[in-house]
């Protein structure tokens, strides 16, 4: 039996209050994903991307939730989904980090993370979540940071 990970969310921003790099940069509010208490944003901060859930327009947020709940397949990546995106606009054309999401019975698996602009694998995961808990957490991301 594989160990299950624990997924939580919390509202966050790119820069903390005293960070000098926030000057002149967009300090986007987003919904951070905590895996076993560790921030996915912080784990991948060097790529200057933010989690795709919990911010942006209503349509964008609903699309991301549908992706992560496997209700909708991505248009051209199929079972890969944008998990971290451009902090300015969320547009995939600006570059993003994708993850392969698979559901096996009552477990959802995040695996095979990639920096899509370079097609380069990122050595993180896989992560295993109990579907019932995962579904509630993903649905709870709507509007956590903002709705535009």
Angle at 114 between CA 94 and CA 36, to 5 degrees: 110
pLDDT (0 to 100) of residue 25: 57
Q: Are 81 and 53 a contacting pair, CB within 8 Å?
A: no
pLDDT computed for residue 95 by the predictor: 80
> Model pTM?
0.85
Q: In b/e form, how buried is each residue of 2-35, taking b as 16+ CB within 10 angstroms?
A: eeebebebeebbbeeeeeeeeeeeeebebbbbbb
Mean pLDDT of the chain: 85
% of the chain beyond a pLDDT of 70: 83
pLDDT of residue 30: 83
What pLDDT is stored for residue 77 in this prediction? 81
Exposure string for 108-125, b = 16+ CB within 10 A, e = fewer: bbbebbbbbeeeeebebb
Amino acid 69: pLDDT: 94
- pLDDT at position 7 is 96
pLDDT, residue 121, reads: 94
pLDDT in tens, 3-39: 999 999 988 876 555 555 555 556 577 889 999 999 9
Q: Does position 109 have pLDDT exceeding 70, yes or no? A: yes
Residue length of the chain = 148
Average pLDDT over residues 28-52: 90
More confident residue, 20 or 77: 77
């Amino acid at each position: 039996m594989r160990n299950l990970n624990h997924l939580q969310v919390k509202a966050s921003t790119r820069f903390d209050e005293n960070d000098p790099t926030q000057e002149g940069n967009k300090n986007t509010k987003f919904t951070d994903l905590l895996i076993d208490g560790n921030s996915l944003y912080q784990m991948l901060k060097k790529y200057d991307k933010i989690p795709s859930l919990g911010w942006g327009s209503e349509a964008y947020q609903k699309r991301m939730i549908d992706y992560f709940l496997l209700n909708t397949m991505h248009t051209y990546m199929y079972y890969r989904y944008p998990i971290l995106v451009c902090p300015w606009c969320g547009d995939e054309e600006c570059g993003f980090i994708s993850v392969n999401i698979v559901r096996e019975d009552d477990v959802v698996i995040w695996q095979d993370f990639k920096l899509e602009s370079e097609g380069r694998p990122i050595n993180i995961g896989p992560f295993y979540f109990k579907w019932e808990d995962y579904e509630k957490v993903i649905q709870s991301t709507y509007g956590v940071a903002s709705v535009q």
